[in-house]
Chains A and B, each alone.
Chain A
């Protein structure tokens, strides 16, 4: 005799994936290890803020790159060109508004910087749309050609930028109210670094909200996990991909403005130089993972600043070393994305 009521397992007994928080610990660990090494606490605070600011800017740039890869297995070696484009646009926009940038009032400065950022994002996004059409679409699913053609796109892009703005470096001074630093006890923190951290956190928050609370975000996350399944449910992954690509390019443009202001000079080669850092960041984070990219960016930013202070000669190696250590611990990056 069967029992009259078959036992149904309760819903809450379904297995749930526990969020993996261990990689989050890396940041405080790295920061704490650096305290005794840097010697004085105030130096440490300055360096940490510099590292966080740099990490935030890298995150803004790299987040689009990692999502694009996760969604379509497209790695854009030409991502750097959007950074350069954004930075050069900023020189043009801010150059026209010197009256506003030289004024001491923060509001006027912001009114100059915000349009520069908006222009950079719009133009970089538009160029991204064309880039996707002309350069990337013809070579979907052919990794070898993709690497070469995105590289080629970057060469052409950089040369075109040189045609428009010239080949020499252009100074990009910070607006008046962003200059100087705030004192916390003995520790000096540059104002612009604080602003970078705030902007970076805002971008991260918006992105986090879109990815985890909206339908588009749900589809993007699902597409990263299993593209074919999303397609079989009737969604056009191609369109989603274009959207993500354009958004990623726009963010790279924004990052370019911020990086240009951070360096205070803009050169046509700047995008190519950051490319290496971007790759290290997205490999550390796990290809396709935005959370991993965030942690990776901050780790790379902090590492670059601590090591740059302690032993300037090995600064670039430190990031490669960081990548090797992370990959030895987790061979597919901090947050591996399933199918790969």
Chain B
């Protein structure tokens, strides 16, 4: 009962999926204890940030059926908001609050403007216009080097509680020192969980149903009396807001922000791949997609290195398996998923569960 309420009545509806989701949650919670080392912790933190970011993109793409290429722009605004505020105001919580608030405000205004101007047009045009705007914004951010640090980006200090120097107790707990990094990590996991459940609440509300109706048939939704432009704009603004928060989380964790970490078009491609491979139109897909993608990004390369060395006698295969070509294989998986299983991994799992029942 309680779990159903927490998940807004949107249960995984597949035993395998439920197990996977629980495993991801447990894995994230236990990372500092089970997998020692900075790399594992960084990967887990990145998974958290991207769960929020990809879910917010799914709100737009999977639930409302809008393709936007400006999503990393809002992600970047969030990250730069925190980075600039903490850089100028020093490592205080007021700085964090001011940065997040200013970033949210800017994202709100921008997403509202883009939405009102261009959500009336066809999907194609919207995709093109957001692509142009996002590219311009990226150039803009690196040109304004006085504020943003240009191509080099900004390094800054976070509030004392979250910084590595802070320590909760002298004694390590289960072999892990209780420092600010650990607090920052659990804060990140908690915020991710709250934001995710909040988005789950939104997409399962009557408002979320209208968004899905627009995705399925905009004309019919309009005929039923819903102003599709208004709902699309709401969806745009909401998803921009969540992306901004994800950006703020990223900056707080990394204590650094630059164009390549939060604004680049590569990240846009990555989240598109995550959403589609995981499964569009269900937020659980974003969790699965983000986790899978980031694990692959960080660990497949090691595997490919082994395979590539094993194949070092065969020229073409060796190059295809080169560790830097991991995106090739994910790209092929992406193309295949778009037309072989458009509902992604989660959709597949649910269909299987239904066939069994």
Q: A-side interface residues toward B, CB under 8 Å?
A: 73, 75, 77, 135, 138-139, 143-145, 147-149, 151-153, 155-156, 159-160, 162-164, 167, 272, 275-276, 279-280, 283, 313, 316-317, 320, 323
Q: A149-B338, A155-B327, A283-B129 are in contact. List 6 more A-B contacts (CB 8 A).
A: A144-B67, A148-B334, A152-B335, A156-B328, A275-B131, A279-B132
Question: Contact string, B55-87, partner A, CB cutoff 8 A, digits 1/0?
Answer: 000000000010100000000000000000000
Q: How far is the CB of B102 from chain A (nearest CB, A)?
A: 22
- In the complex, what residues of B have CB within 8 A of residue A320's CB? 132-133, 136
Within 8 A of A (CB), among B29-67: 65, 67
- In the complex, what residues of B have CB within 8 A of residue A147's CB? 67, 123-124, 127
Q: Is B342 an interface residue (CB 8 A)?
A: yes
- In the complex, what residues of A have CB within 8 A of residue B276's CB? 148
Within 8 A of A (CB), among B160-211: none
Could you tell me if B125 and A283 are in contact, using CB atoms closer than 8 angstroms?
Answer: yes
- In the complex, what residues of B have CB within 8 A of residue A323's CB? 132
- In the complex, what residues of A have CB within 8 A of residue B316's CB? 163
Can you list 13 A-B contacts with CB-CB less than 8 angstroms, sorted by A residue number? A77-B127, A149-B335, A149-B338, A152-B331, A155-B331, A159-B328, A160-B328, A163-B316, A163-B325, A276-B131, A276-B132, A279-B128, A283-B125
B335: which of A143, A156, A272 is its contact (CB, 8 Å)? A156
Complex CA distance for A167 and B94, rounded to whole angstroms: 44
- In the complex, what residues of B have CB within 8 A of residue A135's CB? 335
For chain B, the bracket of interface size reads 35 or more
Known: A75-B124, A75-B128, A320-B132. A145 touches B342 (CB 8 A): yes
The 6 closest A-B pairs by CB, nearest first: A159-B328, A155-B331, A152-B335, A156-B331, A279-B128, A152-B334
Q: Is B265 an interface residue (CB 8 A)?
A: yes
Q: How far is the CB of A41 from chain B (nearest CB, A)?
A: 30
Tell me the nearest residue of chain B to A323, going by C-beta: B132
Could you tell me if A143 and B123 are in contact, using CB atoms closer than 8 angstroms?
Answer: yes
Could you tell me if B272 and A151 are in contact, using CB atoms closer than 8 angstroms?
Answer: yes
Complex CA distance for A101 and B65, rounded to whole angstroms: 51
Q: Is B298 an interface residue (CB 8 A)?
A: no
Could you tell me if B327 and A148 are in contact, using CB atoms closer than 8 angstroms?
Answer: no
Q: Is B222 an interface residue (CB 8 A)?
A: no
Complex CA distance for A145 and B65, rounded to whole angstroms: 10
Question: Contact string, B306-326, partner A, CB cutoff 8 A, digits 1/0?
Answer: 000000000010011010110
Tell me the nearest residue of chain B to A162, going by C-beta: B325
Q: How far is the CB of A168 from chain B (nearest CB, A)?
A: 11
Could you tell me if A143 and B122 are in contact, using CB atoms closer than 8 angstroms?
Answer: yes
Of A139, A155, A313, A323, the most chain B CB neighbours within 10 A belong to A155
Of B269, B273, B339, the most chain A CB neighbours within 10 A belong to B339
- In the complex, what residues of B have CB within 8 A of residue A275's CB? 131
- In the complex, what residues of A have CB within 8 A of residue B133's CB? 320
Q: How far is the CB of B71 from chain A (nearest CB, A)?
A: 13
Tell me the nearest residue of chain B to A275, going by C-beta: B131
- In the complex, what residues of A have CB within 8 A of residue B122's CB? 143
Complex CA distance for A317 and B131, rounded to whole angstroms: 13
Q: Is B217 an interface residue (CB 8 A)?
A: no
Q: How far is the CB of B121 from chain A (nearest CB, A)?
A: 9
- In the complex, what residues of A have CB within 8 A of residue B338's CB? 139, 145, 148-149, 152
Q: How far is the CB of A112 from chain B (nearest CB, A)?
A: 28
Tell me the nearest residue of chain A to B123, going by C-beta: A143
